Amino acid sequence: MRTQEARIKPRLSERLSRTGKEFWKQRQLQAMVWPGIIWMAVFSYIPLVFLYIAFTDYRISVPLFENDFVGLKHFIAFLTDDRFWRAVYNTLGLSLLRITIGFCIPIILALLLNELRCERFKKIVQTVSYLPHFISWAIFGGILLSWMSESGIFNQLAISLGLQDKAILYNGDPDNFWMIAFLSDTLKEMGWNAIIYLAAITSIDPELYEAAELDGAGRFQRMWHITIQCIRPTIALLFILAVSGCLSSNFDQVFFLSNSANMSRSETLDLYIYNMGIVSGRFSFSTAVLFFRSIISYALLRLCNFTSVKLTGESII
């Protein structure tokens, strides 16, 4: 057996030299791949090394590994910080809105669009509904702030309808923030998020509908028993993805709409990390929070993937 194997398998050195020759033959291709590898090493892998600063008292003027190692000091510091737990609460609260009501809206929009009989009108609605997605948050946020200002249209409308007797600064009240964030996110992304469902719906076999109609199924029944059932895998997939992202928030949105008055409900983990790191300059502390969140998020993604494989037989990653 052994001698046979040795005869079939060339010796390691031979194999290496053959690979070397092959490699030399495709040196032009390799020369096209390696810039990419180098780019990844610099822009993706070096930052991973910099995560080490979470365990040190990092000062930017001192080389990375010469900073004092402090172990879990920063982790303990944020875990005992009330502001951190407030940020966790806000992140989860916003995520809960996003993955429950917020998740259903694009599906409903897709279903409604599918019920339209006039193809042209459908196309127009679709095209128009993507528009806010392409407007930058800098501009969209500016519009929202203008609407919510003391002389803005929300106040004008509410006063003219007699709902309030004087102007309110909507964005200054922490209790309003989640609703504002949820509604603005819905307005900006619902059309865009519906695309994937519409794509799934168009691949449904029309004969199914005809058969159901012959069997006397009404419109709602067809919607429920055919459309929803057929796009269920898509829904499940996107739902699992949404759940796995529940420790992140829409940074642009909270960055724009938060202010010192509503901070108690608007500071999510993303904003907390930003405020601690960039605004306060606590590099090590901020990185510790980020590192901690990344680990939990990754575990969550794995867990969701596991659930997905068990339930639908499909892997999301």
Q: Considering beta carbons, is residue 6 or 146 the nearer one to other proteins?
A: 146
Tell the smallest beta-carbon distance from residue 100 to other proteins (Å): 20
Burial of 249 (0-12, 13-18, 19+ CB in 10 A): buried
Residue 3 beta carbon to other proteins: minimum distance, rounded to whole angstroms: 29
Smallest separation (angstroms) from other proteins to the CB of 237 = 8
For other proteins, which is the closer residue by CB, 6 or 128?
128
The DSSP element (H or E) to which 10 belongs, if any, is none
Q: Min. distance of Cβ 243 from other proteins in angstroms?
A: 16
Considering Cα of 53, then 58, then 61, then 67, what sign does the dihedral take?
A: negative
Q: HSE, CB side, 13 Å, CA atoms: give it for residue 61.
A: 0
Q: Which is nearer to other proteins, 6 or 104 (CB)?
A: 104
Cβ closest to other proteins, residue 9 vs residue 59 = 59
Q: Which is nearer to other proteins, 69 or 121 (CB)?
A: 121
The torsion region of residue 257 among left (phi > 0), alpha (psi -120 to 50) and beta comes to alpha
Tell me the two tokens of residue 202.
């168009």
Residue among 243 and 301 whose Cβ is closer to other proteins:
301
- Strand-pairing partners, residue 56, are 69
CB of 317 to other proteins, least distance (A): 8
Which of 3/220 has CB closer to other proteins?
Answer: 220
List the structure tokens of 114: 């599918």
Q: Output the smallest distance, CB 211 to other proteins, in A.
A: 12
Per-position b or e across 189-217, b if 16+ CB within 10 A of its CB? bbbebbebbbebbeeeeeeeeeeeeeeeb
> Which residues, in sequence order, are CB contacts of 223 under 8 Å at separation 6+?
111, 115
Closest distance to other proteins from the beta carbon of 253 (Å) = 12
Assess contact for 107 and 285: CB atoms under 8 A: no
Tokens of 7: 């005869």
CA 317/CA 315 separation, integer angstroms: 6
